[in-house]
Amino acid sequence: MNRVLVVNSGSSSLKYAVVDADSGDTIADGIVERIGEEDGGVPDHAAALQAAFDELDDDMTGLVAVGHRVVHGGPDLYEPTLVDDAVVARIDELSPLAPLHNPPALLGIEVARRALPDLPHIAVFDTAFFHDLPPAAATYAIDRDLAAKWGIRRYGFHGTSHQYVSEQAAEFLGAPLDSLRQIVLHLGNGASASVIVGGRPVETSMGLTPMEGLVMGTRSGDLDPGIYAYLWRTAKMSVDDIESMLNRRSGMLGLGGHIDFRVVHRQIASGDAAAQLAYDVYIHRLRKYIGAYLAVLGTADVITFTAGVGENDAAVRRDALSGMTALGVELDEQLNADPRREARRISTDDSATTVLVIPTDEELAIARACVSLLTNRS
Ligand code: AMP
pLDDT in tens, 299-317: 999 999 999 999 999 999 9
pLDDT > 70: what percent of the chain?
A: 100
State yes or no: 312 annotated in a binding site. yes
| pLDDT over threshold 80, residue 286 | yes
Tell me: pLDDT of 5 over 80: yes
Q: Where are the beta strands (DSSP E) in 21-103?
A: 26-32, 63-70, 81-82
Q: Please tell me the predicted confidence (pLDDT) of residue 357.
A: 98
pLDDT at 330 over 90: yes
Confidence tier at 336 by pLDDT (50, 70, 90) = very high
pLDDT in tens, 27-78: 999 999 988 887 778 898 999 999 999 999 999 999 999 999 999 999 889 9
67 known ligand binder: no
CA-CA-CA-CA dihedral for 229, 241, 138, 148, to nearest 10 = 70
Please, which contacts does 286-293 make with residues 24 or more away whose CB atoms are closer than 8 Å?
286/185, 286/187, 286/193, 286/214, 286/215, 286/316, 286/320, 287/320, 289/193, 289/205, 289/213, 289/214, 290/183, 290/185, 290/193, 290/320, 290/321, 290/324, 291/327, 293/183, 293/193, 293/195, 293/203
**Ligand 1 pocket residues where CB is under 6 Å:** 188-189, 217, 259-262, 307-309, 312-313
User: What is the overall mean pLDDT for the chain?
Assistant: 95
The confidence band for 268, taking pLDDT boundaries of 50, 70 and 90, is: very high
pLDDT per residue over 362-372, tens digit each? 999 999 999 99
Q: Please tell me the distance between residue 283's alpha carbon and the centre of ligand 1 in angstroms.
A: 15
Instruction: Give residue 298's pLDDT.
Output: 94
> 76-111: per-residue pLDDT in tens?
899 999 999 999 999 999 888 888 788 989 999 999
**Residue 72 CA neighbour count, 13 Å, CB half:** 28
Ligand 1 centroid – CA 312 distance (Å)? 7
Which H or E run includes 184?
strand 181-187
Asked if residue 335 has pLDDT above 90, the reply is yes
Nearest protein Cα to ligand 1, atom 16: 308
Report which ligand 1 atom has the smallest distance to the Cα of 189. 2
Using the atom order of ligand 1, give the atom closest to the CA of residue 360.
Answer: 3
Q: What is the mean pLDDT of residues 263-280?
A: 98
Annotated binding-site residue? 108: no
Residue nearest to atom 8 of ligand 1 (CA): 308
DSSP letter for each residue of 294-334: HHHHSS-SEEEEEHHHHHH-HHHHHHHHTT-GGGTB-B-HH
pLDDT grade for 149, boundaries at 50, 70 and 90: very high
Contact predicate 306/187, CB 8 Å: yes
What is the residue with the minimal CA distance to atom 21 of ligand 1?
313
DSSP 1: -
pLDDT of residue 41: 83
Distance CA 97, CA 150 (A): 10
Which atom of ligand 1 approaches the CA of 263 most closely?
12
Task: Rounding to the nearest 10 degrees, give the CA dihedral for residues 138, 352, 286, 221.
Answer: -20
Q: What average pLDDT score do residues 218-231 get?
A: 97
Gap from CA of 287 to ligand 1 centroid (Å): 19
Q: Render pLDDT for 169-224 as a digit per residue (tens, 0 to 9).
A: 999 999 999 999 999 999 999 999 999 999 999 999 999 999 999 999 999 999 99
Which of 185, 189, 192 to probe ligand 1 with, by most ligand atoms within 8 A of CB? 189
**Helix locations, 126-272, DSSP H:** 135-138, 144-150, 159-173, 226-233, 239-248, 251-256, 261-269
- Residue 261, annotated as binding a ligand: yes
pTM tops 0.85, yes or no: yes
Active site residue 126: yes
Q: Is 37 helix (H, G, I), strand (E, B) or coil?
A: coil
Query: Percentage of the chain with pLDDT > 90?
Result: 90
Give how far Cα 268 sits from Cα of 216, 283, 346, 351, Å.
Answer: 18, 14, 25, 30
Is 90 exceeded by the pLDDT of residue 246?
A: yes
Atom 12 of ligand 1: nearest residue by CA position: 260
Q: How far apart are CA 293 and CA 289, in angstroms?
A: 6
Q: Residue 378 pLDDT > 80, yes or no?
A: no
Question: Residue 347's beta-bridge partner residues?
Answer: 331
**Geometric angle at alpha carbon 31, from 28 and 36, rounded to 5°:** 150
Of 35 and 275, the one with more pLDDT:
275
Q: How far is the CA of 313 from the centre of ligand 1 (A)?
A: 8
CA distance linking residue 102 with residue 11, whole number of Å: 9
Catalytic residue among 126, 272, 301, 361: 126
CA atoms of 278 and 189, how far apart (whole Å): 14
Give whole-number Cα distances, 147 to 69, 150, 154, in Å: 26, 5, 11
249 labelled binding-site residue: no
**Which protein residue has the closest C-alpha to ligand 1 atom 10?**
260
What is the pLDDT averaged over residues 154-172? 97
CA of 82 to the centre of ligand 1 (A): 32
